[in-house]
Chains A and B, each alone.
Chain A
Amino acid sequence: MSTTDLASAKPLSVAGATPLLRNIFARFGVIVVLLALWELAARLGWINTFLFPAPSNIAATIWTQSGPDGNPPYAMPMHVLRSMIRLLAGIALALIIGTVLGVLIGMTRWARMLFQPLISIFMPVPTLAWTPVLLLLTGIDDRTTIIVVFIAAVFEVIYTIVAGIEMMNVKLFWVARSMGASRLQIFFRVIIPAIFPYLITGLRLGTGYAWRALIAAEMLAASSFGLGFMIYDASEYMSTNVIYAGIVLIAVLGYLLENVLIGRLEAATTEKWGVQSER
């Protein structure tokens, strides 16, 4: 819902910036008011500041932990960076393998017969259930979390790409073939552009699931660094301000990833190219 709103705000030009600002203000005004109320309640002692630290406290925590005084130094950026690296690595894998598999399944009968039942069985399995298995196969937190991200994202990518292939005009394919194009050429010049909007959609959905899965996997499996690890570790030491700082970062980053980043990517590519996504 927010993606279309943001896209329609057309933030790409200066003249369009003012309505954008007004837009942002109107939308986030409520959040600001709520935060102000929370701060007031904390200062007046109306609420338990241990369980609900004041927003100023949370902000201060983010600030100090991001600098050299943090524990360990530059803690926040390191945690964020580690999570981001794991997410990107997993998504990159999901994109590559998912696209190849998706195209195969969409285009060939044998691939569909082989993979369709497997995907139906494995897709609804809760992603986190794989974590203990992965911990056995590789106890190292980076590998485990990256594979979890991969699993979470790849199904969406395959699913939407297959749908995209269905929607693809088969004549394009025939024309290219009749002109003697090789398989590889067909793949990159015909198929990929045709399914591109679906790929982006699959990417967006996959990223959403992947971010969720990553945080949970980090809480279970990470021994050092990562936002999920950070908030779980903080609960051992009862540092509620760090926990809330982490939650804020996770929420903001999740929102940005799902709506803004991909939304902009969509705007920059598919809309420019004049193809609209069906979803």
Chain B
Amino acid sequence: MIATRTPDVPPQAGGASASASRLVAFATFMLPIGALLLLWEGTVRLGLADATILPAPSMIVARAWELLNPVGSQHSLLLMHIGVSLWRALAAFVLACLVAIPLGFALGLSKGAYRALSPLLSLLLPLPAVAWTPIFLVAFGQGDITIIGVCFLGAFFPVLYSTIQGVRGIGVHAIWVVRSMGAGPMDLFRRVLLPGALPALISGLKLGMAHSWRTLVAAEMLAALSYGLGYMIFAARSYMDVSTMFVGIVCLAVIGLLIEHAIFGTLERMTVARWHSSGKVRGAR
């Protein structure tokens, strides 16, 4: 599944040149990104952009370093905020899985229940989980309960939906066959349902974690009382500490990137593999 990243370099046999071409591929990939960073740094240094509105990458890195280091007897502030955010997103995700997966199996197996509930589900699926934040705010005020609650809702529906689809995708014949051979429910689950639903389930899990993090970004900015990247960003915003704000944003972005990158395979899946899949239109030829 590893497609070559660049169209220019002809595929070569042999070990040394293969790793050399991969190196070139990596360099070509990083080039526009590096250029962008340099451009950004340049505009701020040359005074074209105001550092109090758009700090240069070097300033952001410097500030991140400051926040990373423990001050006095305290622990690293940045790691603290990151840790709290991650724990909230993970807790919400785990909770969502604990509820959504069993429910998904139940709904997937019962045709009646599915028919009954599917309109409700399809109505709730496009509803952004953040929209539930005000209700949580009224009921629980700001803080962890609200944030984890909202992220739970964010992760719940994708996981539920994927599980249902996965279970429904299993041919009913497979179930009949195994049942006719005298398999009990446990066996049925272990040998037919779980393996059959697994691909959809796993993709649902990935989607759920990604949704949990994305929802966290918004929920924390609205409801965090102390700690968390969203809190850090908005606290910095109140006091016009733009560098700290950008450090927070970059962390949110990078962690989001890592979650989706690690989860969805490589970045290639998002762009390259699809774009280089066939010998059709490719460049002005």
- Verify whether A and B have any Cβ pair under 8 Å: yes
Q: Which residues of A contact B (CB under 8 A)?
A: 1-2, 26-28, 30-31, 34, 51, 105-109, 112-121, 123-133, 135-137, 159, 162-163, 165-170, 173, 208, 211-213, 215-216, 219-220, 228, 231-232, 234-235, 238, 240, 243-244, 246-247, 250-252, 254-255, 257-259
**Least distance between A63 CB and chain B CB atoms (Å):** 20
Complex interface: chain B residues within 8 A of A232 (CB)? 133-134, 222
Ordered by A's residue number, 20 sampled pairs between the chains whose C-beta atoms are within 8 Å are: A30-B117, A30-B119, A116-B271, A118-B33, A129-B253, A132-B237, A163-B274, A165-B280, A216-B130, A219-B133, A219-B218, A231-B131, A235-B138, A246-B131, A247-B131, A250-B131, A251-B123, A254-B126, A255-B122, A258-B126
**Among A28, A112, A131, which residue has the most Cβ atoms of chain B within 10 A?**
A112
Complex interface: chain B residues within 8 A of A118 (CB)? 32-33, 36
Across the interface, A166 reaches (CB within 8 A) one of B119, B122, B246, B275, namely: B275
Q: Is B135 a contact partner of A243 (Cβ separation < 8 A)?
A: yes
**Least distance between B76 CB and chain A CB atoms (Å):** 21
**Among A27, A117, A133, A215, which residue has the most Cβ atoms of chain B within 10 A?**
A117
Is B82 part of the binding interface, using a Cβ–Cβ cutoff of 8 Å? no
**Least distance between B276 CB and chain A CB atoms (Å):** 9
Bound complex: CA A107 to CA B285 (Å): 9
Complex interface: chain A residues within 8 A of B214 (CB)? 126-128
Main secondary structure of the interface of B (DSSP, over half): helix
Is B188 part of the binding interface, using a Cβ–Cβ cutoff of 8 Å? no
Q: Is A126 a contact partner of B278 (Cβ separation < 8 A)?
A: no
User: B266-277 toward A: CB 8 Å interface, digit per residue (1/0)?
Assistant: 010011101101
Q: Is A126 a contact partner of B217 (Cβ separation < 8 A)?
A: yes
Closest to B268 in A: A120
Complex interface: chain B residues within 8 A of A108 (CB)? 283-284
**Among B29, B213, B280, which residue has the most Cβ atoms of chain A within 10 A?**
B280
Bound complex: CA A129 to CA B274 (Å): 27
Bound complex: CA A261 to CA B31 (Å): 41
Closest to B133 in A: A219
Across the interface, B221 reaches (CB within 8 A) one of A124, A131, A247, namely: A131
User: B110-138 toward A: CB 8 Å interface, digit per residue (1/0)?
Assistant: 00000111111011101110111111011
Is B281 part of the binding interface, using a Cβ–Cβ cutoff of 8 Å? yes
Is B196 part of the binding interface, using a Cβ–Cβ cutoff of 8 Å? no
Q: Is A121 a contact partner of B237 (Cβ separation < 8 A)?
A: no
- Beyond known contacts A109-B284, A112-B275, A173-B281: 17 more, CB 8 A cutoff: A1-B118, A26-B115, A30-B119, A30-B120, A106-B275, A108-B283, A113-B28, A124-B257, A128-B214, A159-B271, A163-B275, A212-B126, A213-B128, A219-B133, A247-B127, A247-B131, A257-B126
**Least distance between B86 CB and chain A CB atoms (Å):** 14
Q: Which residues of B contact A (CB under 8 A)?
A: 6-8, 28-33, 36, 53-54, 115-120, 122-124, 126-128, 130-135, 137-139, 213-214, 217-218, 221-222, 233-234, 237, 242, 245-246, 249, 252-253, 256-257, 259-261, 267, 270-272, 274-275, 277-278, 280-284
**Given A128-B218, A165-B281, are A250 and B128 also a contact pair (CB < 8 Å)?**
yes
Complex interface: chain B residues within 8 A of A252 (CB)? 123
Across the interface, B32 reaches (CB within 8 A) one of A115, A125, A159, A257, namely: A115
Q: Is B126 a contact partner of A208 (Cβ separation < 8 A)?
A: yes
Bound complex: CA A232 to CA B146 (Å): 14
**Given A51-B138, A162-B275, A240-B135, are A31 and B126 also a contact pair (CB < 8 Å)?**
no
**Among B118, B218, B242, B261, which residue has the most Cβ atoms of chain A within 10 A?**
B218
Complex interface: chain A residues within 8 A of B124 (CB)? 251
Closest to A212 in B: B128
Closest 5 CB pairs of A and B: A235-B134, A254-B126, A212-B128, A109-B283, A124-B260
Closest to B285 in A: A170
**Given A30-B119, A120-B270, A168-B280, are A240 and B130 also a contact pair (CB < 8 Å)?**
no
Across the interface, A107 reaches (CB within 8 A) one of B7, B139, B272, B281, namely: B281
**Given A51-B139, A117-B29, A132-B249, are A247 and B126 also a contact pair (CB < 8 Å)?**
no
Bound complex: CA A129 to CA B249 (Å): 6
Complex interface: chain B residues within 8 A of A135 (CB)? 237
Closest to A52 in B: B135
Q: Is A124 a contact partner of B131 (Cβ separation < 8 A)?
A: no
Q: Is A125 a contact partner of B277 (Cβ separation < 8 A)?
A: no
**Given A27-B119, A235-B134, are A121 and B284 also a contact pair (CB < 8 Å)?**
no
Bound complex: CA A129 to CA B132 (Å): 19
**Least distance between A255 CB and chain B CB atoms (Å):** 5
Bound complex: CA A114 to CA B31 (Å): 8
Q: Is B256 a contact partner of A124 (Cβ separation < 8 A)?
A: yes
Q: Is B117 a contact partner of A121 (Cβ separation < 8 A)?
A: no
Q: Is B127 a contact partner of A254 (Cβ separation < 8 A)?
A: yes
**Least distance between B20 CB and chain A CB atoms (Å):** 19
Complex interface: chain B residues within 8 A of A2 (CB)? 122
Closest to A111 in B: B283
Bound complex: CA A165 to CA B131 (Å): 36
